[in-house]
Amino acid sequence: MAIIIDGKAEAALAIDAVKASHATFEAESGIKAGLAVVIVGDDPASHAYVGAKGRMAKECGFHSVQHTLPRETSQLDLLRLIEALNADPVIHGILVQLPLPDHLDAEPVIQSIRPEKDVDGLHVMNAGDLATGLISCTPAGAMLLVSRIHGRDLSGLNAVVVGRSNLFGKPMAQLLLDANATVTMAHSRTLDLPAVCRRADILVAAVGRAELIKADWVKPGATVIDVGINRIAAPERGEGRTRIIGDVDFSGCKEIAGAITPVPGGVGPMTISMLMNNTLAAAKMSAARPLQQHWFPLSSPFG
Protein backbone atom coordinates (compact mmCIF):
# COMPACT_ATOMS: atom_id res chain seq x y z
CA MET A 1 0.00 0.00 0.00
CA ALA A 2 1.34 3.39 -1.05
CA ILE A 3 2.26 6.38 1.09
CA ILE A 4 -0.74 8.72 0.81
CA ILE A 5 0.75 12.18 0.26
CA ASP A 6 -1.04 14.65 2.53
CA GLY A 7 -1.39 17.83 0.46
CA LYS A 8 -3.36 19.57 3.21
CA ALA A 9 -0.56 19.12 5.73
CA GLU A 10 2.09 20.20 3.20
CA ALA A 11 0.04 23.24 2.22
CA ALA A 12 -0.40 24.19 5.90
CA LEU A 13 3.39 24.04 6.39
CA ALA A 14 3.91 26.25 3.33
CA ILE A 15 1.30 28.75 4.57
CA ASP A 16 2.95 28.90 8.02
CA ALA A 17 6.25 29.73 6.32
CA VAL A 18 4.59 32.45 4.21
CA LYS A 19 2.88 33.99 7.27
CA ALA A 20 6.12 34.12 9.24
CA SER A 21 8.13 35.52 6.34
CA HIS A 22 5.45 38.11 5.54
CA ALA A 23 5.31 39.26 9.16
CA THR A 24 9.08 39.88 9.14
CA PHE A 25 8.92 41.57 5.72
CA GLU A 26 6.10 43.85 6.80
CA ALA A 27 7.83 44.76 10.07
CA GLU A 28 11.06 45.62 8.23
CA SER A 29 9.64 47.38 5.17
CA GLY A 30 6.25 48.67 6.29
CA ILE A 31 4.83 47.05 3.15
CA LYS A 32 1.91 44.61 3.09
CA ALA A 33 1.88 42.17 0.16
CA GLY A 34 -1.13 43.02 -2.02
CA LEU A 35 -3.10 40.52 -4.09
CA ALA A 36 -5.86 41.42 -6.57
CA VAL A 37 -8.04 38.60 -7.87
CA VAL A 38 -10.24 39.29 -10.89
CA ILE A 39 -13.26 37.15 -11.70
CA VAL A 40 -15.64 37.63 -14.61
CA GLY A 41 -19.10 36.08 -14.55
CA ASP A 42 -20.88 33.92 -12.02
CA ASP A 43 -19.55 30.39 -12.39
CA PRO A 44 -20.08 28.95 -8.87
CA ALA A 45 -16.93 26.76 -8.87
CA SER A 46 -14.74 29.70 -9.93
CA HIS A 47 -16.33 31.90 -7.24
CA ALA A 48 -15.60 29.23 -4.65
CA TYR A 49 -11.90 29.08 -5.68
CA VAL A 50 -11.57 32.86 -5.77
CA GLY A 51 -13.24 33.24 -2.37
CA ALA A 52 -10.77 30.74 -0.91
CA LYS A 53 -7.82 32.63 -2.43
CA GLY A 54 -9.00 35.94 -0.95
CA ARG A 55 -9.61 34.43 2.48
CA MET A 56 -6.18 32.83 2.53
CA ALA A 57 -4.53 36.10 1.46
CA LYS A 58 -6.17 37.85 4.43
CA GLU A 59 -5.15 35.03 6.75
CA CYS A 60 -1.54 35.53 5.61
CA GLY A 61 -1.85 39.20 6.56
CA PHE A 62 -1.92 40.46 2.96
CA HIS A 63 -3.89 43.33 1.49
CA SER A 64 -6.49 41.40 -0.52
CA VAL A 65 -8.94 42.75 -3.09
CA GLN A 66 -11.43 41.00 -5.34
CA HIS A 67 -12.79 42.53 -8.56
CA THR A 68 -16.01 40.82 -9.58
CA LEU A 69 -17.03 41.82 -13.10
CA PRO A 70 -20.32 40.98 -14.81
CA ARG A 71 -20.40 38.21 -17.40
CA GLU A 72 -20.92 40.70 -20.25
CA THR A 73 -17.72 42.66 -19.46
CA SER A 74 -15.88 43.64 -22.67
CA GLN A 75 -12.30 42.70 -23.49
CA LEU A 76 -11.39 46.39 -23.41
CA ASP A 77 -12.86 46.96 -19.95
CA LEU A 78 -11.03 43.92 -18.61
CA LEU A 79 -7.76 45.15 -20.13
CA ARG A 80 -8.36 48.60 -18.58
CA LEU A 81 -8.76 47.02 -15.14
CA ILE A 82 -5.49 45.10 -15.60
CA GLU A 83 -3.78 48.34 -16.63
CA ALA A 84 -5.02 50.04 -13.45
CA LEU A 85 -3.86 47.12 -11.28
CA ASN A 86 -0.49 47.09 -13.08
CA ALA A 87 -0.05 50.73 -12.08
CA ASP A 88 -1.32 50.36 -8.50
CA PRO A 89 1.67 50.37 -6.11
CA VAL A 90 -0.17 48.53 -3.30
CA ILE A 91 -0.95 45.59 -5.59
CA HIS A 92 1.99 43.20 -6.06
CA GLY A 93 0.12 40.23 -7.48
CA ILE A 94 -2.69 40.01 -10.05
CA LEU A 95 -4.63 36.85 -10.80
CA VAL A 96 -7.38 36.58 -13.42
CA GLN A 97 -9.45 33.51 -12.66
CA LEU A 98 -9.81 31.15 -15.63
CA PRO A 99 -11.76 30.14 -17.59
CA LEU A 100 -13.13 33.48 -18.78
CA PRO A 101 -16.56 33.64 -20.46
CA ASP A 102 -16.41 32.52 -24.12
CA HIS A 103 -16.55 36.00 -25.66
CA LEU A 104 -13.31 37.00 -23.90
CA ASP A 105 -9.85 36.05 -25.13
CA ALA A 106 -7.80 35.00 -22.09
CA GLU A 107 -4.35 35.04 -23.67
CA PRO A 108 -4.00 38.81 -24.31
CA VAL A 109 -5.44 39.44 -20.85
CA ILE A 110 -2.84 37.21 -19.17
CA GLN A 111 -0.05 38.69 -21.29
CA SER A 112 -1.12 42.23 -20.34
CA ILE A 113 -0.29 41.57 -16.68
CA ARG A 114 3.14 42.94 -15.81
CA PRO A 115 5.41 39.86 -15.48
CA GLU A 116 6.53 40.91 -12.01
CA LYS A 117 2.88 40.94 -10.86
CA ASP A 118 1.94 37.70 -12.63
CA VAL A 119 1.62 35.55 -9.50
CA ASP A 120 -0.08 32.83 -11.57
CA GLY A 121 3.20 32.38 -13.49
CA LEU A 122 1.34 32.32 -16.80
CA HIS A 123 2.96 35.28 -18.58
CA VAL A 124 5.31 34.08 -21.35
CA MET A 125 8.20 35.78 -19.55
CA ASN A 126 7.55 33.62 -16.47
CA ALA A 127 6.57 30.44 -18.33
CA GLY A 128 9.81 30.75 -20.27
CA ASP A 129 11.84 31.07 -17.05
CA LEU A 130 13.05 34.46 -18.27
CA ALA A 131 11.76 37.06 -15.89
CA THR A 132 10.83 36.91 -12.28
CA GLY A 133 10.97 33.31 -11.17
CA LEU A 134 7.23 33.35 -10.42
CA ILE A 135 6.27 29.75 -11.11
CA SER A 136 2.79 28.64 -12.09
CA CYS A 137 1.06 27.69 -8.82
CA THR A 138 -0.36 24.21 -9.42
CA PRO A 139 2.83 22.83 -11.02
CA ALA A 140 4.89 24.45 -8.24
CA GLY A 141 2.68 22.72 -5.65
CA ALA A 142 2.85 19.37 -7.44
CA MET A 143 6.66 19.67 -7.62
CA LEU A 144 6.87 20.35 -3.90
CA LEU A 145 4.98 17.09 -3.28
CA VAL A 146 7.27 15.22 -5.68
CA SER A 147 10.29 16.61 -3.83
CA ARG A 148 8.93 15.30 -0.51
CA ILE A 149 9.26 11.77 -1.92
CA HIS A 150 12.30 12.02 -4.22
CA GLY A 151 14.20 15.13 -3.08
CA ARG A 152 14.95 18.00 -5.44
CA ASP A 153 17.22 16.13 -7.84
CA LEU A 154 15.31 13.71 -10.06
CA SER A 155 18.37 12.48 -12.00
CA GLY A 156 17.82 9.04 -13.47
CA LEU A 157 14.04 9.05 -12.95
CA ASN A 158 11.48 8.79 -15.74
CA ALA A 159 8.59 11.22 -15.39
CA VAL A 160 5.45 11.06 -17.52
CA VAL A 161 3.03 13.99 -17.61
CA VAL A 162 -0.36 13.06 -19.06
CA GLY A 163 -1.98 16.25 -20.40
CA ARG A 164 -0.39 19.18 -22.24
CA SER A 165 -2.31 22.25 -21.06
CA ASN A 166 -0.63 25.64 -20.81
CA LEU A 167 -1.98 26.01 -17.27
CA PHE A 168 -0.45 22.79 -15.99
CA GLY A 169 1.04 20.10 -18.28
CA LYS A 170 3.63 22.21 -20.08
CA PRO A 171 4.98 24.08 -17.02
CA MET A 172 4.98 20.82 -15.00
CA ALA A 173 7.07 19.08 -17.66
CA GLN A 174 9.48 22.04 -17.61
CA LEU A 175 9.87 21.88 -13.82
CA LEU A 176 10.50 18.13 -13.90
CA LEU A 177 13.07 18.67 -16.64
CA ASP A 178 14.73 21.44 -14.61
CA ALA A 179 15.00 18.92 -11.75
CA ASN A 180 16.89 16.52 -14.10
CA ALA A 181 14.06 14.00 -14.68
CA THR A 182 13.75 12.36 -18.09
CA VAL A 183 10.37 13.69 -19.15
CA THR A 184 7.72 12.37 -21.52
CA MET A 185 4.61 14.40 -22.27
CA ALA A 186 1.67 12.17 -23.14
CA HIS A 187 -1.75 13.28 -24.36
CA SER A 188 -4.92 12.18 -26.09
CA ARG A 189 -3.05 11.34 -29.32
CA THR A 190 -0.34 9.25 -27.61
CA LEU A 191 -0.14 5.68 -28.86
CA ASP A 192 -0.57 3.03 -26.15
CA LEU A 193 -0.93 5.43 -23.23
CA PRO A 194 -0.98 2.61 -20.62
CA ALA A 195 2.44 1.38 -21.80
CA VAL A 196 3.87 4.92 -21.70
CA CYS A 197 2.53 5.42 -18.16
CA ARG A 198 4.00 2.10 -17.00
CA ARG A 199 7.50 3.46 -17.73
CA ALA A 200 7.01 6.31 -15.24
CA ASP A 201 8.77 6.51 -11.90
CA ILE A 202 6.80 9.73 -11.46
CA LEU A 203 3.38 9.72 -13.13
CA VAL A 204 1.50 13.02 -13.25
CA ALA A 205 -2.10 12.99 -14.48
CA ALA A 206 -3.80 16.21 -15.61
CA VAL A 207 -6.24 15.35 -18.38
CA GLY A 208 -9.63 16.06 -16.84
CA ARG A 209 -10.93 12.49 -17.40
CA ALA A 210 -12.30 10.89 -14.25
CA GLU A 211 -10.29 7.84 -13.14
CA LEU A 212 -8.60 7.43 -16.53
CA ILE A 213 -5.36 6.08 -15.00
CA LYS A 214 -5.86 2.46 -13.91
CA ALA A 215 -3.84 0.29 -11.52
CA ASP A 216 -2.25 -1.70 -14.36
CA TRP A 217 -0.93 1.56 -15.92
CA VAL A 218 1.23 2.17 -12.85
CA LYS A 219 4.78 0.88 -12.41
CA PRO A 220 5.08 -0.82 -9.00
CA GLY A 221 6.53 1.67 -6.50
CA ALA A 222 5.93 4.73 -8.72
CA THR A 223 4.91 8.12 -7.37
CA VAL A 224 1.49 9.12 -8.73
CA ILE A 225 0.44 12.77 -8.69
CA ASP A 226 -3.22 13.37 -9.52
CA VAL A 227 -4.07 16.88 -10.68
CA GLY A 228 -7.57 16.03 -11.94
CA ILE A 229 -10.65 17.70 -10.53
CA ASN A 230 -13.74 15.97 -11.92
CA ARG A 231 -17.18 16.54 -10.45
CA ILE A 232 -19.41 13.48 -10.65
CA ALA A 233 -22.90 12.65 -9.45
CA ALA A 234 -22.97 11.17 -5.93
CA PRO A 235 -26.53 9.87 -5.39
CA GLU A 236 -25.27 7.99 -2.31
CA ARG A 237 -24.93 11.42 -0.64
CA GLY A 238 -28.50 12.37 -1.50
CA GLU A 239 -30.40 13.47 -4.55
CA GLY A 240 -28.59 15.96 -6.79
CA ARG A 241 -25.38 15.76 -4.72
CA THR A 242 -21.95 15.58 -6.35
CA ARG A 243 -18.39 14.79 -5.34
CA ILE A 244 -14.92 15.44 -6.73
CA ILE A 245 -12.69 12.67 -8.05
CA GLY A 246 -9.32 12.73 -9.78
CA ASP A 247 -7.90 11.49 -13.08
CA VAL A 248 -6.50 8.44 -11.25
CA ASP A 249 -8.40 5.37 -10.06
CA PHE A 250 -7.18 5.97 -6.51
CA SER A 251 -8.43 2.79 -4.85
CA GLY A 252 -6.77 0.56 -7.47
CA CYS A 253 -3.56 2.57 -7.97
CA LYS A 254 -2.76 2.98 -4.27
CA GLU A 255 -2.17 -0.77 -4.09
CA ILE A 256 0.57 -0.56 -6.78
CA ALA A 257 2.12 2.89 -6.35
CA GLY A 258 4.87 3.76 -3.84
CA ALA A 259 3.29 7.14 -3.10
CA ILE A 260 0.08 8.75 -4.34
CA THR A 261 -1.87 11.98 -3.91
CA PRO A 262 -5.59 11.71 -3.08
CA VAL A 263 -8.32 13.90 -4.61
CA PRO A 264 -9.41 15.94 -2.80
CA GLY A 265 -6.61 16.67 -0.34
CA GLY A 266 -3.58 16.23 -2.59
CA VAL A 267 -2.38 18.78 -5.14
CA GLY A 268 -5.46 21.02 -4.76
CA PRO A 269 -4.58 22.59 -1.39
CA MET A 270 -1.02 23.25 -2.62
CA THR A 271 -2.15 25.65 -5.36
CA ILE A 272 -3.38 28.34 -2.98
CA SER A 273 -0.30 28.09 -0.78
CA MET A 274 1.95 28.53 -3.84
CA LEU A 275 -0.13 31.57 -4.87
CA MET A 276 0.51 33.12 -1.44
CA ASN A 277 4.19 32.30 -1.78
CA ASN A 278 4.34 33.99 -5.21
CA THR A 279 2.48 37.06 -3.93
CA LEU A 280 4.96 37.47 -1.08
CA ALA A 281 7.87 36.96 -3.52
CA ALA A 282 6.39 39.62 -5.85
CA ALA A 283 6.04 42.08 -2.94
CA LYS A 284 9.64 41.46 -1.88
CA MET A 285 10.86 41.96 -5.46
CA SER A 286 8.92 45.19 -5.72
CA ALA A 287 10.40 46.44 -2.43
CA ALA A 288 13.89 45.69 -3.74
CA ARG A 289 13.32 47.41 -7.09
CA PRO A 290 13.45 51.12 -6.14
CA LEU A 291 16.96 50.49 -4.79
CA GLN A 292 18.02 48.95 -8.10
CA GLN A 293 16.44 51.84 -9.99
CA HIS A 294 18.48 54.26 -7.87
CA TRP A 295 21.65 52.37 -8.44
CA PHE A 296 21.39 51.87 -12.15
CA PRO A 297 21.44 55.52 -13.29
CA LEU A 298 24.23 56.37 -10.86
CA SER A 299 26.44 53.56 -12.08
CA SER A 300 25.45 53.83 -15.72
CA PRO A 301 27.67 55.74 -18.14
CA PHE A 302 24.43 57.14 -19.59
CA GLY A 303 23.11 58.36 -16.22
Q: Tell me the catalytic residues.
A: 53, 97, 120
Question: Shortest distance, CB of residue 164 to ligand GUN, whole angstroms?
Answer: 16
Binding characters for ligand GUN, 257-286, by CB under 6 A (x = yes): --------------x---------------
Q: What is the number of the residue whose Cβ is closest to ligand GUN?
A: 98
Query: 108-127: which residues touch ligand GUN (CB under 6 A)?
Result: 120
Q: Are 253 and 224 in contact (CB under 8 A)?
A: yes
Nearer to ligand GUN by Cβ, of 113 and 280: the residue is 113
CA angle in degrees (0–180, nearest 5) for 56-116-37: 35
The DSSP H or E segment spanning 242 is: strand 242-245
Among 2, 14, 95, 119, binds ligand GUN (CB under 6 A): 95
Question: Shortest distance, CB of residue 120 to ligand GUN, whole angstroms?
Answer: 5
Percentages of the chain per state (helix, strand, coil), in multiples of 5: 45, 15, 35
* Helix and strand counts by DSSP (H, E) for the chain: 10, 11
Question: Applying CB under 6 A, does 14 fall inside the site for ligand GUN?
Answer: no
Sign, CA torsion 96/89/127/135? negative
The span of 83-91, 93-101, 235-243, 290-298 binding ligand GUN (CB under 6 A) equals 93-101
Sign, CA torsion 126/175/161/209? negative
Chain positions contacting ligand GUN, by CB under 6 A: 95-98, 120, 137-138, 271
